[in-house]
Amino acid sequence: MEKLDKFFKLKENNTTLSKEILAGVTTFFAMVYIIFVNPNILSQTGMKWNAVFLATIIASFIGTIVMGLFANVPYAQAPGMGLNAFFTFTVCFGLGFSWEEALALVFICGIINIIITVTKIRKYIIKAIPKSLQNAIGGGIGIFIAYIGLKNANMMTFTLDPGHWTESFGTVFGDASAVPAITDFSTPVPILAVIGLVITIVLLLFKVRGAILIGIVATTIIGIPMGVTKVTGLFSNYDLGAPFRDLGETIGAAFYKGMPGLFSDASRIPMALLAIFAFSLTDTFDTIGTFIGTGRRTGIFSEEDLAAVEHGKGFKTKMEKALFADAIATSVGAVFGTSNTTTYIESAAGIEAGGRTGLTSVTTAVLFLLCILISPIVGIVPGAATAPALIVVGIMMAASLKDIDWADLAEAIPAFFAAVLMALFYNISIGIAFGFIFYVIVKVCKGQAKEVHPIMWACAGLFLLYFVLMALNGAGII
Of the CA atoms within 13 Å of residue 137, those in its CB half-sphere come to: 26
- The residue type of 388 is P
Q: Is residue 217 included in any domain, yes or no?
A: no
Q: What is residue 197's predicted lDDT score, i.e. its pLDDT?
A: 95
Comparing CA positions, the residue from 372, 375, 371, 48 lying closest to residue 237 is: 375
Residues 6 or more apart in contact with residue 393 via CB below 8 angstroms: 33, 37, 81, 142, 145, 146, 212
- The residue type of 475 is A
Average pLDDT over residues 31-49: 90
Q: Is residue 209 included in any domain, yes or no?
A: no
Helix, strand, coil content of the chain in percent (nearest 5): 70, 5, 25
Comparing CA positions, the residue from 183, 90, 99 lying closest to residue 140 is: 90
Q: How far apart, in whole angstroms, are the C-alpha atoms of residue 276 and residue 270?
A: 10
Q: Is residue 228 included in any domain, yes or no?
A: no
DSSP 448: -
User: Are residue 297 and residue 359 in the same domain, yes or no?
Assistant: yes
Asked if residue 82 has pLDDT above 80, the reply is no
- Number of domains making up the chain: 2
User: Are residue 457 and residue 363 in the same domain, yes or no?
Assistant: no
Q: Answer yes or no: are the C-beta atoms of 64 and 76 closer than 8 Å.
A: yes
Q: Answer yes or no: are the C-beta atoms of 380 and 230 closer than 8 Å.
A: yes
Average pLDDT over residues 306-322: 70
DSSP 129: S
User: Are residue 359 and residue 423 in the same domain, yes or no?
Assistant: no
Mean pLDDT lowest among 78-87, 207-216, 305-314: 305-314
DSSP 142-173: HHHHHHHHHHHTT-EEEE--GGGEEEETTEEE
Q: How far apart, in whole angstroms, are the C-alpha atoms of residue 331 and residue 6?
A: 31
Q: How far apart, in whole angstroms, are the C-alpha atoms of residue 261 and residue 250?
A: 15
The end-to-end CA distance of the chain, in Å, is: 66
Q: Is residue 110 included in any domain, yes or no?
A: yes
User: Are residue 121 and residue 67 in the same domain, yes or no?
Assistant: yes
Q: What is residue 334's predicted lDDT score, i.e. its pLDDT?
A: 95
User: Are residue 345 and residue 415 in the same domain, yes or no?
Assistant: no
User: Are residue 148 and residue 291 in the same domain, yes or no?
Assistant: yes
Q: Is residue 342 included in any domain, yes or no?
A: yes
Q: How far apart, in whole angstroms, are the C-alpha atoms of residue 279 and residue 109?
A: 7
Q: What is residue 171's predicted lDDT score, i.e. its pLDDT?
A: 46
Asked if residue 384 has pLDDT above 70, the reply is yes
Q: What would the pLDDT profile of 157-184 be if each residue is shown by its tens digit? A: 877 766 565 554 444 556 667 788 889 8
Domain extent at residue 332? 2-155+240-375
Query: What are the C-alpha distances in Å from 175 to residues 93, 165, 429?
Result: 17, 7, 20
Q: How far apart, in whole angstroms, are the C-alpha atoms of residue 40 and residue 63?
A: 21
Q: Is 372 exposed, middle or buried (0-12, 13-18, 19+ CB in 10 A)?
A: middle
Q: Which carries the bigger pLDDT value, residue 236 or residue 271?
A: 271
Global confidence as pTM: 0.73
Q: What would the pLDDT profile of 336-353 be if each residue is shown by its tens digit? A: 999 999 888 778 778 877
User: Are residue 34 and residue 147 in the same domain, yes or no?
Assistant: yes
Residues 6 or more apart in contact with residue 351 via CB below 8 angstroms: 23, 74, 294, 298, 300, 360
**3-class secondary structure, 427:** coil
**3-class secondary structure, 120:** coil
Q: Is the backbone of residue 210 left (phi > 0), alpha (psi -120 to 50) or beta?
A: left
User: Are residue 150 and residue 286 in the same domain, yes or no?
Assistant: yes
Beta strands in 8-136 (DSSP E): 77-79
User: Are residue 348 and residue 245 in the same domain, yes or no?
Assistant: yes
Q: What is residue 237's predicted lDDT score, i.e. its pLDDT?
A: 58
- The residue type of 370 is L
* Domain limit, last residue, from 327, 354, 375: 375
Query: What are the C-alpha distances in Å from 260 to residues 253, 257, 289, 357?
Result: 10, 6, 35, 42
Q: What would the pLDDT profile of 199-256 be if each residue is shown by its tens digit? A: 999 999 998 877 887 888 899 899 999 999 877 766 655 667 878 889 999 999 999 9
Asked if residue 397 has pLDDT above 70, the reply is yes
Q: What is residue 87's predicted lDDT score, i.e. its pLDDT?
A: 92
Query: Can you name the residues that pair with 179 across neighbouring β-strands?
Result: 159
Of the CA atoms within 13 Å of residue 15, those in its CB half-sphere come to: 32
User: Are residue 326 and residue 474 in the same domain, yes or no?
Assistant: no
Asked if residue 113 has pLDDT above 80, the reply is yes
User: Are residue 142 and residue 256 in the same domain, yes or no?
Assistant: yes
Q: Which carries the bigger pLDDT value, residue 406 or residue 319?
A: 406
Comparing CA positions, the residue from 249, 259, 316 lying closest to residue 111 is: 259
Tell me the backbone φ, ψ of residue 94, rounded to 5 degrees. -80, -50
User: Are residue 141 and residue 260 in the same domain, yes or no?
Assistant: yes
* Domain limit, last residue, from 375, 395, 418: 375
Q: What is residue 162's predicted lDDT score, i.e. its pLDDT?
A: 65
| β-pairing verdict for 171-174 and 77-79 | unpaired
Asked if residue 428 has pLDDT above 90, the reply is no
